[in-house]
Amino acid sequence: MNSERLAGYSTIALAGIGSLAIQDAIAGPLGSLVDRTLFPSLFVVVSLVSFQWLSKRARPDRPYPRVMAGVSLGLLLAPAPVEWLTRSLADVGIPYELVMIAGLRNVTLGLAAASCWRRYRNIAAALSAFCLLFACTLDTTWLTLGCVAAYTVAGSLWLMVQYQSALRIESENQPTASMPIPAFGIVLLVLFAALGVVAGAGESVTYALGELMPTSGGTGARDPFARGGIGDGDDVVAGEDVQSDGGDSDIHLSSPEPSLYDVFNELYGEPQMPKNMQRAIALPSERIREPDKVSKNHQAGREFSLHRRRTQRRPAPRDLVADAQLYVDGKSPQHLPLVAYDEFDGWRWHEAEHAPRHVDLEKTLAGWLKSPEPEREYEGGTERYRIKVGKLETRGLPFPRRVVSFKLGAVDRADFFRMAYPGIISLADASSTLPPGTILHVEAATLDWEALEELSPHSLLRTSTGQAHADPSDGGLSKRTAELVDQWAAEYPPGPKQVAGVVERLRDRCRLDRDAIVPSSVDGPVDYFLFESRKGPDYLFATTATLALRHLGYTARAVSGFYVNPARYDAHGRTTPVVTEDAHFWTEVQLANGDWITQEPTPGYFRTPPTLTWEEWAWTVVAGAMRYLIDHAAAVAAILLAVGLVTLYRRRVADVGLVGVWWVGIRCQRRASVAWTLWLLERRATLAGHRRPPGQTPSRWLGPLTALASEPSDALSTFLQTFERVAYGAGVEDATSFRLCGQVVRDWKLATLRSALSEFITIVPER
């Protein structure tokens, strides 16, 4: 292989790697491996084929073909109409910057295909480097890193080949076209002018130039296909390195947005006071004259009643996405606790009286507030989250459990925060709430649930020593419920396994029905839920689990907040919107070290899995693949059988296809029928493993076959003569040659040609 061709191949390799990196960025985190590799592979194949075609027809003695300028422009603009079509027809699209870089990728591959010309080769290599760098700025996945490594190797090879090729070209005194001095001059002029404007006009111009970048967020415009749900549009720009981020939001103003209490009312319906409860409350005489204060609860989040009216669901989930309360960029599923309830009076959960206390936080150099708590042995790695407050107005910080460190804009002092409930942080100022647009950066530890279950029974805080306990008079379990719970608990050893087992049994016994309500006529909601309806909303699961765990002596509490549902993940925004329907109740038990551990009693809701190591991830992938194969055994077997048959008879299958192409080709008359027939014979010989050497003429290649003592040799000999006359002389085809071609195709079938060529190869001397 000569150096020019090797240089072309290496250039295509560079362009292919750049294309792969770009496609990886376009596919996003949800894209499968096929999404990331299919199109680059196709593009590279097209580029390779084009390169082969151009290499055979390129005239190095001619100047560079200027038509490539038009071709490049077409390739650059091609993604725009495609994007318009996909957005219009399928409501699928990519951000404008990716459309632009896709066009640049096309140009790179197009020029790589024309890399038999040195200048195009150089431009393609430079553009491929730009594509790779651009992709690295968008995302850093394992595939991107692999592309960088591959590019390093291929780039080194490309440089070496270029050097050798340059030596050859200089020795050959190859004619070259004159350099486009005016074009370079214009580019330099524009660059100098831009630098001059920026240097002279200062920051205002820099900001203005930055806004030229679509979907960068600086313009305040919103695009539904913009990249990054957090950080796009309006006045917020998300940075990858949040530790070095100077702050996303300094907005801490009050606003009329809904609070968590309003969310509950909207989701579960407004609470209603049962008549018997109204009678049970003893009021002073002065308050009897103000009944509104009795029947209404203005203390949002302070208590939660299980008496609820049926509420109307929002029919359009699309609107819910638009009205998200929070946007979470991070691992899901996830529980975001906001309010903890300690006391239960039989119908209502009350927030326990809790003296707000100071939060122990250490400020880091980067402006983060870090928890001084030591790492626990049951932690499963840390995860980073970016949480953008949507419509929700809350004083509590919607953080996951086990916060390691967090950052809230420029609010970097520990005394700005307080511990609203044990383990739940909120703003210290009671009148302040997190307004929409606030972005919270959090680093939190995940929990290794298997390690937790292996903890000793003493690791759990028992009621006798804990602060939370059930009051048997108004919040305890009835006798039959207690018996049921005891029956469940007997199956497990005391400790974390018993807690998990009881919760699991509850999940199995009842089913989730958000529309189910507990009639006010029943004696107790838990009994009704466990033994009569056996269905209900999540707060009934949480209440039952909490009371059951308290009955068993564990310190437990009900917690409300939001559930980050992975099913809502928005690939466009790369975030998980948390909508009103994600308001959620669950249970927490306390460990002896003070940590509150999430327990999820509601079916359909799950706890956050621990962060996987590479080995665990690989095993998960393998296990998932195996599970898929087992689940689809019949389909997989059918596909494997089909692939096997096609592989086994691939030559025959390919030959049938080739004959079909030949049959159509000779009737289209685009080429002479003898040319089509020779094409078919060549392809058949290639299938038979005896490809015609490129420097061998058809007569020299097939001529010896005519000497073989076989019937078809006459037709082949005549065919070769006719071919030479038509292809190289002034001969024209007639009906005879048409029939002759058919005869040759019938005589020299794949098997015949293979055996004849094999025999010929053994007897023919080298030229």
Partner 1 sequence: MAATEELTNSNEFVAANGDARECVYQAAIDRMRISLNDALRGKREVVELVLACLLARGHLLIEDIPGLGKTTIAKALAAAVGGKFARMQCTPDLLPGDITGFNIFNQKTREFEFLPGPVFADVLLADEINRATPRTQSALFEAMAERQVTVDNCCRHLSEGFFVIATQNPIEQHGTYPLPEAQLDRFAIKLSIGYPDPENECEMLAAHVGTGTQVRKVATADITPEQLLVLQRHIESVAVADSVRRYLIDVAWATRRHAAVTLPISPRGVLIWQRMGQAWAHLRGRDFTTPDDFQEVAPHVLGVRLSGDFSDPGAIIAEILETVPVPVA
Give the tokens for residue 205.
Answer: 């111009």
The least CB distance from residue 697 to partner 1, in Å, is: 5
581 to each of 337, 554, 638, 766, how far by Cα in Å?
15, 30, 43, 80
CB-based contacts of 295: which residues, under 8 Å, 6+ apart? 273, 278
Closer residue to partner 1, CB minimum distance, 164 or 752: 164
Q: Applying CB under 8 A, does 614 fall inside the site for partner 1?
A: no
Q: What is the 3 state secondary structure string of 307-320?
A: CECCCCCCCCHHHH
- Phi first, then psi, for residue 379 (nearest 5°) are -80, 145
Q: Which stretch binds partner 1 (CB under 8 A): 180-188, 286-294, 452-460, 671-679?
A: 671-679
Q: How many CB atoms lie within 10 A of CB 5?
A: 16
CA 600, CA 229: separation in Å to the nearest integer?
A: 28
CA 225, CA 229: separation in Å to the nearest integer?
A: 9
Please identify which residue in 384, 607, 651, 671 interacts with partner 1, judged by CB under 8 A.
Answer: 671
Half-sphere exposure of 120 (CA within 13 A, CB side): 27
Closer residue to partner 1, CB minimum distance, 709 or 730: 730
3-state secondary structure of 535: strand
Q: Which residues of 512-524 are buried (b: 16+ CB within 10 A; e: fewer)?
A: beeebbbebeeeb
Site string for partner 1, 672-711 (x = CB under 8 A): x--x--xx--x----------xxxxxxxx-----------
The least CB distance from residue 699 to partner 1, in Å, is: 6
Site string for partner 1, 730-749 (x = CB under 8 A): x-------------------
The least CB distance from residue 60 to partner 1, in Å, is: 6
Angle between helices 142-172 and 3-27 (to 10 degrees): 160
The least CB distance from residue 158 to partner 1, in Å, is: 19
Closer residue to partner 1, CB minimum distance, 334 or 673: 673
The least CB distance from residue 705 to partner 1, in Å, is: 16
The least CB distance from residue 174 to partner 1, in Å, is: 9
The least CB distance from residue 162 to partner 1, in Å, is: 16
The least CB distance from residue 761 to partner 1, in Å, is: 15
Closer residue to partner 1, CB minimum distance, 276 or 669: 669
Please identify which residue in 29, 61, 182, 521 interacts with partner 1, judged by CB under 8 A.
Answer: 61
218 to each of 251, 447, 628, how far by Cα in Å?
17, 38, 45
Q: Applying CB under 8 A, does 175 fall inside the site for partner 1?
A: no
Size of site (CB under 8 A) for partner 1: 28
Q: Applying CB under 8 A, does 170 fall inside the site for partner 1?
A: no
3-state secondary structure of 290: coil
197 to each of 191, 193, 207, 539, how far by Cα in Å?
10, 6, 12, 62
Closer residue to partner 1, CB minimum distance, 57 or 479: 57
Site string for partner 1, 16-55 (x = CB under 8 A): ----------------------------------------
Closer residue to partner 1, CB minimum distance, 86 or 164: 164
Please identify which residue in 303, 453, 504, 724 interacts with partner 1, judged by CB under 8 A.
Answer: 724
Q: Which stretch binds partner 1 (CB under 8 A): 56-64, 103-111, 304-312, 350-358?
A: 56-64
The least CB distance from residue 613 to partner 1, in Å, is: 52
The DSSP bridge pattern shows strands 439-447 and 379-389 to be antiparallel
The least CB distance from residue 726 to partner 1, in Å, is: 9
Closer residue to partner 1, CB minimum distance, 502 or 672: 672
3-state secondary structure of 696: coil
- The shares of helix, strand and coil residues in the chain, as percent rounded to the nearest 5, are 50, 15, 35
Please identify which residue in 2, 364, 613, 758 interacts with partner 1, judged by CB under 8 A.
Answer: 2
Which DSSP string corresponds to 169-182? HHHHT---PPP-HH
Q: Applying CB under 8 A, does 727 fall inside the site for partner 1?
A: yes
The least CB distance from residue 220 to partner 1, in Å, is: 59
Closer residue to partner 1, CB minimum distance, 583 or 681: 681
Q: How many CB atoms lie within 10 A of CB 496?
A: 25
- Phi first, then psi, for residue 19 (nearest 5°) are -65, -40
CA 699, CA 649: separation in Å to the nearest integer?
A: 30
29-35 contacts at long range (C-beta below 8 A, 24 or more positions apart)? 29/139, 29/141, 29/571, 29/574, 30/569, 30/571
Measured at the CA of 426, the angle between CA 422 and CA 429, to 5 degrees, comes to 125
Closer residue to partner 1, CB minimum distance, 424 or 678: 678
Q: Applying CB under 8 A, does 729 fall inside the site for partner 1?
A: yes
Closer residue to partner 1, CB minimum distance, 93 or 698: 698
The least CB distance from residue 1 to partner 1, in Å, is: 10
535 to each of 180, 183, 551, 756, how far by Cα in Å?
78, 74, 21, 79
The least CB distance from residue 2 to partner 1, in Å, is: 6
110 to each of 27, 72, 75, 127, how far by Cα in Å?
22, 7, 7, 11
Give the tokens for residue 308.
Answer: 């609820």
Q: Which stretch binds partner 1 (CB under 8 A): 465-473, 535-543, 581-589, 722-730?
A: 722-730
Closer residue to partner 1, CB minimum distance, 60 or 566: 60
3-state secondary structure of 167: helix
Closer residue to partner 1, CB minimum distance, 376 or 671: 671
The least CB distance from residue 695 to partner 1, in Å, is: 4
Q: Which stretch binds partner 1 (CB under 8 A): 232-240, 494-502, 644-652, 724-732?
A: 724-732
Closer residue to partner 1, CB minimum distance, 2 or 620: 2
3-state secondary structure of 404: strand
Please identify which residue in 42, 60, 635, 640 interacts with partner 1, judged by CB under 8 A.
Answer: 60
* Interaction site with partner 1 (CB under 8 A): 2, 4, 56, 60-61, 168, 172, 671-672, 675, 678-679, 682, 693-700, 724-725, 727-730, 767
